[in-house]
């Protein structure tokens, strides 16, 4: 039996603009998907049985649907089918069966403490976990580059037109400088000045987003370019400035840049009343906050030099603040005797 563990991710900056070719800084974080996989006579996903050939056919149908959606620039149908978690895992399993052509099925058990659809990379971590587990089991291969490429293909089933940033962060871990179509770069010199800046971040869940990542990305694509394009450009600039601020451990600039990021994302209609109200309290207290990933609800990332004060404020507003460890290790594997 093989065990795979994959971290979630969080965008420090660059969500959405990364889809348009601007850079993003994405950190792997200490919430994980864990998978146990072994060979079996059929496909068992968390105890539910599926026929092997039917699983492959399901995946092929999803691939065809993706092609159609891409052609029509409308991912609504794909998004609604993928709202059930099992459909995504089933399509992903079918994709791996098709590409590896093993003679057996699998029993795969997936556990996750990454909140679903909340901007922390739960689907990217599942994609990476499925690819890593199937290729470890059937090919005895664990190559992060190859895992990442196939995980990107799976991400399309859920996100429509992903940038590839989420799966790269979950696969490689650490802090990534990511630009679509390029190899991601690990940012090794962040926080080396012992600034402790990464201890000043906390997260809080502002509520499950009403729309999926696929729908939110689609809404941004449909936004009037005269509004969208300057926002995307500025978000790109912010990412470059944030790189310097993080390397220098410059708290004041980090606060300004996160707040400028949020002003931009809000212009794209990615805010919620809950998030706005909490973010304005954090700003008044001298801190910074923004939603993460596709936004529209979900995870709020907050930063303040006095992190305990922000934690109290988030608590008083009725949310559960949580510490996070950023820059953790990417996907890992372990073979366990049955
Ligand atoms: C979603 O976690 C991040 C987005 O930028 C989409 C993507 O990069 O594929 C909104």
pLDDT at 337 over 80: no
Average pLDDT, the chain: 95
Q: Dihedral of the CA atoms 280, 286, 292, 294 (nearest 10)?
A: 40
**What are the structure tokens assigned to 37, written together?**
């996989």
Q: For residue 182, count CB atoms less than 10 angstroms from its CB and return exposed for 0-12, middle for 13-18, buried for 19 or more.
A: exposed
Mean pLDDT of 39-68: 97
**pLDDT-based confidence at 187, cuts 50/70/90?**
confident
pLDDT at 57 over 80: yes
**What are the structure tokens assigned to 256, written together?**
């300004």
The residues, any chain, with a CB within 8 Å of residue 261's CB and separated by 6 or more, are 13, 235, 238, 290
Looking at ligand 1, which residue's alpha carbon is closest to its atom 2? Answer: 293
Share of the chain above pLDDT 70, in %: 98
pLDDT per position as a tens digit, 135-166: 999 999 999 999 999 999 999 999 999 999 99
Q: Name the residue with higher pLDDT: 268 or 84.
A: 268
Looking at ligand 1, which residue's alpha carbon is closest to its atom 3? Answer: 293
Q: Name the residue with higher pLDDT: 184 or 138.
A: 138
Distance of CA 19 from the midpoint of ligand 1 (Å): 7
Q: Are 163 and 239 in contact (CB under 8 A)?
A: no
Q: What is residue 69's predicted lDDT score, i.e. its pLDDT?
A: 96
pLDDT per position as a tens digit, 292-312: 999 999 999 999 999 999 999
User: Which residue among 8, 15, 158 has the greatest number of ligand 1 atoms within 8 angstroms of its CB, and so is best to mutate?
Assistant: 15
**Half-sphere exposure in the Cβ direction for 37 (13 Å, CA):** 25
Q: Which residues pair with 24 in a beta bridge?
A: 178
**What are the structure tokens assigned to 267, written together?**
């212009």
**What are the structure tokens assigned to 320, written together?**
């559960």
Q: What is residue 189's predicted lDDT score, i.e. its pLDDT?
A: 72
Q: What is residue 192's predicted lDDT score, i.e. its pLDDT?
A: 52
Q: Which atom of ligand 1 is nearest to the CA of 164?
A: 9
pLDDT per position as a tens digit, 255-302: 999 999 999 999 999 999 999 999 999 999 999 999 999 999 999 999
Distance of CA 266 from the midpoint of ligand 1 (Å): 15
Distance of CA 195 from the midpoint of ligand 1 (Å): 29
Mean pLDDT of 102-119: 95
CA 14, distance to chain mean position in Å, is: 12
pLDDT per position as a tens digit, 111-130: 999 998 899 999 999 999 99
Q: Which residues line ligand 1 (CB under 6 A)?
A: 15-16, 18-19, 119, 159, 162-163, 165-166, 213, 217, 293-294
**pLDDT-based confidence at 188, cuts 50/70/90?**
confident
**pLDDT-based confidence at 31, cuts 50/70/90?**
very high
Q: What is residue 326's predicted lDDT score, i.e. its pLDDT?
A: 95
Q: Which atom of ligand 1 is nearest to the CA of 295?
A: 10
Looking at ligand 1, which residue's alpha carbon is closest to its atom 1? Answer: 293
Q: Which atom of ligand 1 is nearest to the CA of 220?
A: 10
Mean pLDDT of 43-50: 96
Distance of CA 312 from the midpoint of ligand 1 (Å): 30
Q: What is residue 275's predicted lDDT score, i.e. its pLDDT?
A: 96
Q: What is residue 194's predicted lDDT score, i.e. its pLDDT?
A: 59
Q: Which atom of ligand 1 is nearest to the CA of 17?
A: 5
What's this model's pTM, rounded to 2 decimal places?
0.96
Distance of CA 41 from the midpoint of ligand 1 (Å): 37
Q: What is residue 213's predicted lDDT score, i.e. its pLDDT?
A: 93
Residue 73 DSSP class: T
pLDDT at 190 over 80: no
CA-closest candidate to residue 233, choices 26, 10, 20, 15: 20
Checking DSSP bridges between strand 24-40 and strand 201-205, what pairing results, if any?
unpaired
């Amino acid at each position: 039996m093989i065990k795979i563990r994959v971290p979630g991710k969080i965008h420090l900056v660059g969500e959405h603009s990364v889809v348009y070719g601007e850079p993003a800084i994405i950190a792997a974080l200490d919430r994980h998907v864990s998978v146990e996989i072994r060979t079996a006579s059929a496909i068992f996903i968390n105890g539910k049985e599926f026929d092997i050939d039917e699983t492959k056919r399901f995946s092929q149908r999803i691939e065809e649907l993706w092609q159609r959606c891409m052609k029509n620039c409308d991912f609504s149908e794909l998004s609604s089918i993928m709202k059930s978690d099992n459909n995504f895992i089933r399509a992903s399993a079918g994709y791996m069966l098709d590409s590896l052509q093993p003679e057996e099925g699998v029993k795969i058990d997936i556990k996750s403490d990454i909140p679903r659809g909340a901007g922390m990379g739960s689907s990217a971590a599942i994609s990476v976990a499925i690819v890593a587990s199937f290729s470890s089991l059937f090919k005895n291969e664990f190559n992060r580059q190859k895992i990442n490429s196939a995980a990107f293909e799976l991400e399309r089933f859920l996100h429509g037109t992903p940038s590839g940033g989420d799966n790269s962060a979950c696969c490689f871990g650490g802090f990534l400088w990511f630009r679509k179509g390029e190899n991601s770069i690990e940012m090794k010199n962040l926080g080396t000045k012992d600034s402790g800046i990464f201890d000043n971040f906390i997260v809080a869940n502002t509520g499950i987003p009403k729309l999926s990542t696929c729908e939110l990305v689609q809404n941004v694509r449909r936004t009037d370019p005269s509004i969208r394009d300057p926002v995307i450009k500025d978000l790109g600039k912010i990412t470059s400035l944030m790189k310097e601020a993080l390397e220098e451990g410059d708290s004041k600039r980090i606060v300004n840049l996160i707040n400028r990021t949020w002003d931009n994302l809000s212009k794209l209609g990615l805010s919620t009343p809950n998030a706005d109200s909490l973010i304005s309290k954090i700003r008044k207290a001298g801190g910074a906050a923004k939603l993460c990933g596709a936004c529209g609800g979900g995870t709020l990332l907050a930063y303040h030099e006095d992190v305990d004060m922000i934690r109290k404020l988030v608590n008083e507003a009725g949310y559960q603040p949580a510490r996070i460890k950023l820059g953790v290790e990417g996907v890992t594997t372990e073979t366990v005797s049955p």
